[in-house]
Amino acid sequence: MFDDAWLSDLLQHRAGRLVDAGVAQELAATLAEHHPAVDARGIATRELLSALDEAWERGWQPADVAHAARKDATAGSVSLAVALIGEHARRTDAAARAPDAWVDQLRELSALSPGDPAVVAAWCRAERRSPAEAWRIVLLLVGMLRCAARLEVLVPPPSRWGPARSRAAGPSAPGDDRVLRRIRGLLAKAESTEFPEEAESLTAKAQELMTRHAVDAALLTAGPAAADGVTARRVHVQDPYVRAKMQLLGAVADANDVRLVWYSALGIANLVGLPGDVGAVELLFTSLLLQVAQALSAAERPLGLRSASRSFRRSFLLGYAHRIGERLQAARRRATEEAAAVHDVDLLPMLRSRQEAVEQRVSELFPRVRSTRSRASVDAGGWYAGQAAAERADVGQRRSSLH
C-alpha cells in the first residue's frame, strides 16, 4: 500500500488533503513508519519541484513561496522551500536566464549557491529532523504549493524565459540605485539610534532626498508618462495584524502616487508605480513598521505586567496608519507647492500624467481589483494612542515632505 506509486499519487493528486495539519500529521506518522529514510528514492524532491513549477505558472515568485511557507505551512518549512527554490534555479539556469527581479529574489533568499540535488534527504540530514517531523513538513509544503491560489503574473515564469543573457544595467538604474542606497542608509541609522533627535534628523534627511528625487524625476520626464514605465513589486507583510499593517502601507503608498493591491488572505501586497516611488514607499514602510513597534511597546509599558489586548494593538496600528496618512498627504501638498515655486513651473500636469500612467498599469495588471473598506470595530484607547504615536513619528515634516 505504501509503495512509491502510492507516495507519488499522494503528492501529485491528493495534495488538497495535505493542507489540513491534522491529516498531514497522521500521514507523516505512517510515512515515517514505512519510509524512515526520508525521501531515499527522491520522490518527494521530484514532486516538490514539480509543484514549484505549477506555482510559478500561477504567478508566484520565489519570495512569495518563502513567505507562504512561513505563513501557511510551518516555519520549519522555509529552509526546505529555499533549498528547493535553489535547486530549481540551478536546473533552469535562472542566474543567466531569469528576469532581474527574479534573480534579485534568489539572491536575497541565498538560493543561488550550489546545493545537494537530493534536496529533501539533504535537508532532513542538515536539520536533524525526525522522520515523522520531516514528512509532516514535506506534506504541508506540497499541500501549500499544489493548492496555491492564482496570482497576477508580474514577472515571467521559467516557461517564458529565453536563452542565457548578460545583465548589463539600463542607463537610469544606477542613479536610482544610488538614491535608494542613500535613503536606506539614512533610515537604517535612524532606526538604530537611541536618541530621538538624531533619528528625526536622519529621517528628515532621507525624506528630503526622496522628495528631491521624485520632483527631479517628474521634471526630467516632463512629457506624458507611459504605463510601460510603471513597475509592480510585491511586499510581504507578516502576522500578526496583517490588515492593520496593510493600512499603514496603503497610507504611505497613497501619499506617493503608488497604488496598493493586496491579497487579503495571503499577506502579499502589490505596489504599482514609478520605480523610484515604489522603492521609496517600501523603504519608508519598513522604517515606519519599526517605529510603530517601538511606539506600541512604549504605550504598553504603563500597563505593567498585563499585556495589551489584541484589540488594543490592532486599533493602535490602525490609528497610527490613519494619522500617518494625514501627515503625509499634508506634506505632499506642501512639497508640491514648494517645488513648483522653486522651479517656477506648474507640476500638477506632470504629476497627473504620472498618476494616470499608474492607474492604466493597475487596470492592465489587475482587471478584477475592487476597493475595500475595513468594517472591523476598534478599541478607542488603542486608536487614539496610535494617533498620538503617529504625531511623534519621523516623517520629516518640519524640514521636508514626501512627494
Together in a domain, 201 and 140: no
User: What are 272's three cell numbers?
Assistant: 504599482
pLDDT tens for 357-391 read 999 999 999 988 766 655 445 444 555 466 666 66
Considering only residues 207 and 77, tell me which one the structure prediction assigns the higher pLDDT: 77
Would you say 150 and 70 are in contact if contact means Cβ atoms under 8 Å apart? no
Domain end, chosen from 124, 157, 190, is at 157
Task: Tell me if 393 sits within 8 A of 199, measured CB to CB.
Answer: no
Q: Identify the domain boundary among 125, 157, 189.
A: 157
User: Does residue 162 sit within a domain?
Assistant: no
Type of residue found at 68: A
* Predicted local confidence at residue 1, as pLDDT: 53
Segment 46-50 shows an average pLDDT of: 97
Q: How confident is the model at residue 305 (pLDDT cuts 50, 70, 90)?
A: very low
Specify the 3-state DSSP secondary structure of 270.
strand
| Residue scoring higher pLDDT (194 or 258) | 258
Say if 17 falls within a structural domain.
Answer: yes
Is there a single domain that holds both residue 214 and residue 310? Answer: yes
Grouping H, G, I as helix, E, B as strand and the rest as coil, residue 402 is: coil
Residue 355 lies in a domain: yes
Contacts of 166 (CB under 8 A, 6+ apart): none
CB distance 145 to 48 below 8 Å: yes
Within a domain: residue 164? no
Range of the domain at 276: 173-392
What are the backbone dihedrals phi and psi of residue 191, each rounded to the nearest 5 degrees, phi first? -75, -30
399 within domain boundaries: no
184 backbone dihedrals φ, ψ, rounded to 5°:
-60, -40
User: In this structure, are 387 and 303 located in the same domain?
Assistant: yes
**Cα–Cα–Cα angle for 364, 214, 249, rounded to 5 degrees:** 60
Residues 70 and 131 in one domain: yes
Is the predicted pLDDT of residue 267 greater than 70, yes or no?
yes
Q: Who's near 137: CB < 8 A, 6+ residues apart?
A: 73, 74, 76, 77, 80, 129
Mark whether 286 and 341 lie in a shared domain: yes
> Does one domain contain both 182 and 248?
yes
Higher pLDDT, 344 or 224: 344
Shared domain for 22 and 74, answered yes or no, is: yes
Amino acid in position 194: E
Residue 402, domain member (yes or no): no
Same domain, 282 and 142: no
Which whole number is the average pLDDT over 223-230? 73
Cell digits of residue 228: 510601460
**DSSP 8-state symbol, 272:** E
124 & 262 share domain? no
Cβ atoms of residues 393 and 325 within 8 Å: no
| Predicted local confidence at residue 402, as pLDDT | 33
pLDDT band (50, 70, 90) for residue 342: confident
Does one domain contain both 148 and 200? Answer: no
If asked whether residues 180 and 153 sit together in one domain, one would say no
Domain boundary among 132, 157, 182: 157
Decide the pairing of beta strands 268-273 and 231-236. Answer: antiparallel
Among 41-45, 156-160, 341-345, which is the least confidently predicted range? 341-345
Q: Is residue 165 part of a domain?
A: no
Return the DSSP state at 93. Answer: T
Query: Among 180-184, 274-278, 283-287, 299-303, where is mean pLDDT lowest?
Result: 299-303
Confirm if 378 and 318 have CB atoms less than 8 A apart. Answer: yes
**Under 8 Å between Cβ of 394 and 190:** yes
Length of the chain: 403
The helix/strand/coil state of 232 is strand
The contacts of residue 316 (CB under 8 Å, 6+ apart) are 292, 295, 296, 299, 308, 379, 382, 383, 385, 386, 389
Q: What is the pLDDT of residue 400?
A: 34
20 — pLDDT class (breaks 50, 70, 90): very high
Same domain, 106 and 35: yes
Q: What is the pLDDT of residues 318-327, one digit of tens each?
A: 998 888 888 7
- Is 262 within the bounds of a domain? yes
What pLDDT was estimated at residue 171? 42
As for how many domains the chain has, the answer is: 2
